[in-house]
Amino acid sequence: MTDMFSDMSTPWSERLLAGGLHPPATEADVRLLEERLGVELPGGYRQFLLFSDGWGDCCLLRAGEAGWLRDLEPLAAEVWSGAESGKVRSVPDELYLVYGEEQESVNLRREYVPDTLLIGRWDDGMVLLNPHVRTAEGEWEAWYLASWVPGARRYRCFWDLIGNERVTRR
């Protein structure tokens, strides 16, 4: 994982430094978050916290602030999951497991929303990690969920989301 972080941090390190990196979380901080959540964090996000415990006051939360969406934002979890309407359509894999420009953000598995991990807030949206969809390396799918996005922008992992959002926000 260290190599991945080195490779990924180089292109955007200047932007991160300008945007308010925090001192690193300690291993104990990260373990405490994992214990509180009852899961082992995906390597990429865990690695980021050990490099910087959050990013700015608006972007990525500190380890002590991250948590399950259903606990931190219960109304958002309910609304985005479609639970209040009782109408949740199942999205087949061939539509859901599409990333990049071919992805249609409306193909969101709303039933996953309450179980996502809230790790940040950008603009008027939320940065989430989805433990239901994992790469072969154990990375969790990452989402950018905002009221102006029909569905969610989904990425294979935390680093893909960070890299993409960095490019689109320049």
Instruction: Give first-to-last CA distance, the chain, whole Å.
Output: 27
The residues pairing with 154 across neighbouring beta strands, listed in sequence order, are 143
> Residue 43: which of 138, 160, 155 has the closest Cα?
138
For residues 139 and 43, the answer to whether their CB atoms sit within 8 Å is yes
* pLDDT tens for the chain, residues 1 to 170: 444 444 444 344 455 556 678 889 999 999 999 999 999 999 999 999 999 888 876 689 999 999 999 999 999 999 999 866 666 678 999 999 999 999 999 999 999 999 999 999 987 899 999 999 999 999 999 999 999 999 999 999 999 998 875 444 43
Other CB atoms within 10 A of residue 74 CB:
12
pLDDT given for residue 57 in this prediction = 64
Q: Which fold has domain 2-168?
A: SMI1/KNR4-like (3.40.1580)
Q: What are phi and psi of 130, to 5 degrees?
A: -110, 110
- pTM for the full model? 0.84
pLDDT given for residue 115 in this prediction = 98
Longest dimension (CA), the chain: 45
pLDDT given for residue 21 in this prediction = 80
